Structure 1
Amino acid sequence: MNTHEQRHRSMHLNDRALFSGEQLLRLQDAVYEFCWLLNRGYARHSVTQLVGDHHQLVKRQRLAISRAACSNISRELRQATCLRIEQIKDRPLVIDGFNLIISVETAMAGGLLLRCCDGCIRDIASIHGTYRQVHETRQSIELIGHVLQAFSPANVLWLFDQPVSNSGRLAGMVRDIANTYCWNWQAELTDNPDQVIRSSCNVAISSDSAILDGGVQWVNLSAYLITHHFHEPWLIDFSGALNKPE
């Protein structure tokens, strides 16, 4: 195994304890409170600290509730602009590369996934400026590709964060796989994929809230993949938090 690889993007050492039993009940309450405060105009970073401190959550739990929660307005906007996967036929796509690949890698390795309030499935991995390939990387890209090609998009543009170490290596793998299967794909590096995707006319594939709140048309591909192609993934469901009675 070379220095640019790790074995799997699976669960962290304490995840079973942090996301089960009484801890999980506490997190369900925390996500509800997080949404309640967002609905009343509180800033996300302030809510993370306020709710996290109130429930004495550790860093990974705080990251989880922050990714799971959204306001009613955000959920309605995201649902209104979300397309069915069948609607990508003959349309150009733009993919938030790290966002999608890491979630699929996590699912393949049995890591923790969250079904969030907006219907997206998100991981709580963090690459900290450096992406390291895992055993599931190539298999994840191939799965994504076979599923997408079954719905016949016009073409696919993958975008990766230029500042992230090894992004060029991952883009090269995407190109290599595309060449192998004769898929009409491109893979590019850019300093700010979020901005490029928000300003693109292509259908977006991402679960990044900063992209989705820009009003782009998008496909919830990570949720489609994990729902249809994984048997019993480790998936914690926070999707009902916004509907919890006062």
Structure 2
Amino acid sequence: MNNRNRGKNTGDDTLFSSQKQMDKLKSAVQDMQYLLSRNYAEKTSSELVGNHYRLKTRQIQALRGASASENQIKERKSKEFEISDLKNKTIYLDGFNILILLESLLSEAYIFEGVDGCSRDLSGVHGTYKRVNQTLTSIELVASFFQKSNAEKLIWIFDKPVSNSGRIKQIILDFVSENNLNWEVELEFNPDRFLVENAEIIVSSDAWILDHCKKWFNLVGYLITEEKLSVNLVKMF
């Protein structure tokens, strides 16, 4: 196993751990919500707010992930399922979104809870997925959730164009055969669109998916509570 993880960037402690920075970010999220609720574009809003509070690039990234309009928050909440709603259902899981978020969380990177109750991280795939030390534990956490949910089936959806998507598919399929789970793994060219068009219930924290899906489940929020995970969680509101 390699020595990689998805931990903090150098400088993240300075940007996200002090009370002064947190107060600034919470005010920024409030201002961002005000602008988004009045139909300002996300890019324009984050530039205005970022300049006003003199935010650094990664703070703006966290701000964008944590923010939503009042209408988006209401809509997302109305479509959110509880664990008891998943019994005997088929769940579709937004593969890289959830896997990388869990890997980041387990690597003690900062995780940001947004106004919609979803947690997000600052990592990304950037065209290539690389397995890290926390990959298998992340898959095990999904398995623990799956068994407790009494769901019928879970289908992982990964981005086919991302390098190594075939490799992570095989890692999960090996795990499935060892643990006798009713899981499938599929590679799609446009996973976000595939998910909103084909899935009744989606596990994701991707904002576009949450705005366009039928129903969704907040897996990472559930796991933090249920598994009592140690997490560098930054509440952004």
TM-score interval, smaller chain: over 0.9
Q: 2:130 is aligned with what amino acid?
A: R
1:60-103, Cα deviation, whole Å (9 max, x unpaired)? 11100000010110011111000101211100110000111111
Q: Give the corresponding residue for 2:37.
A: 39
Query: Which residue among 144, 147, 154 is the counterpart of 2:145?
Result: 147
Q: 1:12 is aligned with what amino acid?
A: N
Q: 2:78 is aligned with what amino acid?
A: A
Q: For 1:91-130, list aligned pairs within 5 A.
A: 91-130=89-128
Query: Which residue among 215, 224, 227 is the counterpart of 1:226?
Result: 224
Q: Give the corresponding residue for 1:10.
A: 7
Q: Secondary structure at the match of 1:150?
A: helix
In the TM superposition, what is the alpha-carbon distance from 1:127 to its structure 2 partner? 2.0
Q: Give the corresponding residue for 1:19.
A: 16
Q: TM-score, normalised by structure 1?
A: 0.92
Q: 2:158 is aligned with what amino acid?
A: F
Cα distance in 1 for partners of 2:10, 2:167 equals 28
Cα distance in 1 for partners of 2:35, 2:200 equals 33
Gaps of 5+ in 2: none
Q: 1:20 is aligned with what amino acid?
A: S
Gaps of 5+ in 1: 242-246
Cα distance in 2 for partners of 1:159, 1:92 equals 13
Q: Give the corresponding residue for 1:157.
A: 155
Q: For 1:53-92, list aligned pairs within 5 A.
A: 53-92=51-90
Q: Secondary structure at the match of 2:128?
A: coil
Query: After TM superposition, where is structure 1 displaced by more than 6 Å over at least 4 residues in a row?
Result: none
Cα distance in 1 for partners of 2:96, 2:228 equals 20
Q: Percent identity?
A: 35
Q: Secondary structure at the match of 2:158?
A: strand
Q: 1:18 is aligned with what amino acid?
A: L
Q: 1:200 is aligned with what amino acid?
A: N
Cα distance in 2 for partners of 1:193, 1:6 equals 29
Q: Secondary structure at the match of 2:149?
A: coil
Q: For 1:174-193, list aligned pairs within 5 A.
A: 174-193=172-191
The number of aligned residues is: 236
**Higher mean Cα deviation, 89-98 or 160-169?**
160-169
Q: TM-score, normalised by structure 2?
A: 0.95
The Cα RMSD (Å) is 1.3
CA 1:142–1:31 in structure 2 vs 1: closer, same or farther (change >3 Å)? Answer: same
Cα distance in 2 for partners of 1:231, 1:96 equals 21
Cα distance in 1 for partners of 2:233, 2:40 equals 28
CA contact (8 A) 1:107 1:230 kept: no
Q: Give the corresponding residue for 1:244.
A: none
Q: Secondary structure at the match of 1:129?
A: coil
In the TM superposition, what is the alpha-carbon distance from 1:115 to its structure 2 partner? 1.1
